Amino acid sequence: MSAADALKAARAAGIQLGVDGEDLALTASVPPPATVIDLLASHKAEVVALLRPSRDGWSAQDWQVFFDERAGIVEFDAGLPRAEAEAHAFACCVVEWLNRNPAQSLAGRCFDCGDLDHAHDPLLPYGVEPTGHAWLHSRCRPAWYEARKAKAASALAAMGIMVPVFHPMEPRRRTEQPPSDATRASRTAKNQFACQRQMNGG
């Protein structure tokens, strides 16, 4: 079991976690299971690190809240099955991670292959960060971007946000009174906004 697993087990048991110096602060409405307490104790240092904000300003708990909010909006307002809602939420988390962890490089060399500018394939800036861009050949950009998304997925997995198993053929849940198209569009606007922040190349 990992520190991320310990965090998940604590949340499932209704435990609220915080950091007090180098120690964990636990709050629960009922006495927590001893197995969960032992799991947290065995991974205390790693759990404390996950609860502290990283360089992008968010902690593992912040990412979990973002994931749960996105999944809940799509599941309940758009009427999608939970697995599909979580797949959508994970995609939003990847986009948000790319936005919060921008890549920059100096102009003159490709950030991916390291080669200079070519007349047949000039270096182009990707990203809209005020501090700079990632300069890439157009032929290098797809593989570079896939590697960036893989890095985002790995970082999220380390915090317990895993790629959900989703089968596209899974039947959608039916509701007795499905929301109208206008209502559904209005309710899911904030979720769509979060996912539309993706920039050229992240």
Domain range spanning residue 67?
A: 53-102+145-202
Measured between alpha carbons, how far is 139 from 124 in angstroms, rounded to an integer?
11
Measured between alpha carbons, how far is 148 from 94 in angstroms, rounded to an integer?
9
The pLDDT-based confidence of 195 (bands split at 50, 70, 90) is low
With a CB cutoff of 8 Å and minimum separation 6, the contacts of 89 are 67, 68, 69, 70, 71, 74
| 45 and 78 co-located in one domain | no
Residue 127 lies in a domain: no
What is the pLDDT, as a whole number, of residue 190? 47
| 153 and 202 co-located in one domain | yes
60-79: buried (b, 16+ CB within 10 Å) or exposed (e) per residue?
bbebbebbeebbebbbebbe
Which domain CATH number covers 3?
1.10.10
pTM, whole model, 2 decimals? Answer: 0.67
Tokens of 48: 């404390």
Give the model confidence (pLDDT) of 124-181 as tens digits: 988 766 667 899 999 999 999 999 999 999 999 888 888 776 555 544 444 445 555 5
| 151 and 198 co-located in one domain | yes
| 200 and 149 co-located in one domain | yes
What is the pLDDT, as a whole number, of residue 72? 92
| 36 and 76 co-located in one domain | no
Measured between alpha carbons, how far is 118 from 155 in angstroms, rounded to an integer?
34
What is the pLDDT, as a whole number, of residue 193? 47
Query: What DSSP line would sit under 94-130, residue for residue?
Result: HHHHHHHS-----TTB-TTT--B--SSS-EEEE---T
| 96 and 10 co-located in one domain | no
Mean pLDDT, the chain, whole residue set: 80
Give the domain-ending residue among 16, 37, 52: 52
| 150 and 191 co-located in one domain | yes
| 83 and 34 co-located in one domain | no
**Residue with structure tokens 């920039």?**
199
Helical residues (DSSP H) of the chain, grouped into ranges: 3-12, 34-42, 44-51, 60-72, 82-100, 141-158, 181-187, 189-195
When pLDDT is averaged across residues 1-17 and rounded to a whole number, the result is: 80
Residue 111 lies in a domain: no
Residue 24 lies in a domain: yes
Give the model confidence (pLDDT) of 78-134 as tens digits: 888 888 999 999 999 999 999 898 888 888 899 999 999 888 889 998 876 666 789
